[in-house]
Structure 1
Amino acid sequence: MSYLEEFVNSIGYLPGEVCRSLELIKLLDDNAKAITEELPILSAQYFSSLEKEQGKVIENADVLQNIRNKQQKALSLSEEKIAVSKQLLDMIDFHTSKLKQDLEAYKKEVANENEAAEEKINKKQKNERTIMDMEMPMTMFMDNPEMQDSFDMQNDENKTYCYCGKGSYGEMIECENPNCKREWFHMECVGLSSQPGGSWFCDDCADAKKKSSSKS
């Protein structure tokens, strides 16, 4: 799960929480206003209930206590409204800050993924170029008869023939036996000065042929 998906899941409850907090703030504010609007009426009742006795003012304790209770209640409601408002703002600030952090983390994650993808593409292209570089010389070799002949000559130089076990040089004659292990022979090694007419077999193959004929 990405940072962005985690953030969206974490704020799934937020709209409902904000609505509840705003409704509570409105309720507290309405109640505080209602009480505040009662205070002038209660104050008027208080002053009208004052009695004078022997030059002294006698207060109506019940009315005065009611006014004080209403004032305290209005103050408590206002303080609660402030607390709920602060809690709501803190919650919004927290998620705003978290969103910024998650966005930065998400940017880094995307950048790393892009870098990894780019590196993978570059590596693939490099491997393809290497394969092409390896294939090109072989293609050039196959398309160039001179290079093939040169290669064949080099192989011939490394291969041994004849009874002497040496490479190809001078005038040579081929044994007619397709399974001859030596294949070619130097004319001088087999005592020939010119190519014989007809088929020619080396001594080993000629002996083997004679033995095979005698058995049959």
Structure 2
Amino acid sequence: MDISDLQQDSGRYLQEYIQSLENLPSEVNYHWAEIQNREDQGKNLERRVHTQQLDLTKLHRQWFAQELDKREKILKHETTIIKRIQRDYDKLEDLSTERIQLAENALRLVDRHLERLGHDLDLLDKSNPEYQEPLAVSTMDTKKHGIDQNLAPEEEEEGEEEEEDDEEAYFAAMMANRQKKRKKKEARDGEEHTEEPLYCYCRQVSYGEMVGCDGENCPYEWFHMECTGLDAPPKGAWYCDECQVEAGNSRKLKKMKRKKESMAAA
């Protein structure tokens, strides 16, 4: 369907475009299944490499425990194990390359459909520079000036043409409005994100389970559980690392002050 067809029947264009996407989910799922298959093969190879490395360690221990005349025989086994490990590492590298290629192919499948839609919309934009303005305005202006009088039998044909123009304007305006709304939402989300207070060592916004510091002058106040290293919320008072250091220094200063006062009194 070329750009002239899109201008004349945007509804049919959308229907054909959606039909072209019917096989996309199954194609992406196929690539994902192939990636998962390579992942499973890689895990099996990693386990085998780990076992072979343990065997190599045992072999080295045996080498040190054996007499000199028997060590040469042990070294023959070492060469065999090292070759197996190297061969498995080469297979792991090949599997990683295949996973990357499969992921890139899946992305290309999606990009191909997006590029097609973007290309057609660009052509529509170039052929209709003022497509964002509703074309129905022209018909309203004609009625306002009384030009709609004495409509002949051509009224039905003109009505059909106006409906087609309305569909075209609606489709183009819909795409433009979606872009405007998305940009406004991104800007609004960015403003909301910057206005939220930052907590924790990581200086991020509050999310998930948080732990409050009981230090009076704590610069962070609240902490993410994963940043504190705690497995469960503390039952009693809890102080962050900085507040613990500050409290320790405060106790040392008080202790030194009491010591000086006692020496002065003596």
Which TM-score tier does this pair reach, normalised by the shorter chain?
0.3 to 0.5
Larger Rg: 1
Greater relative contact order (Cα < 8 A, sep 6+): 2
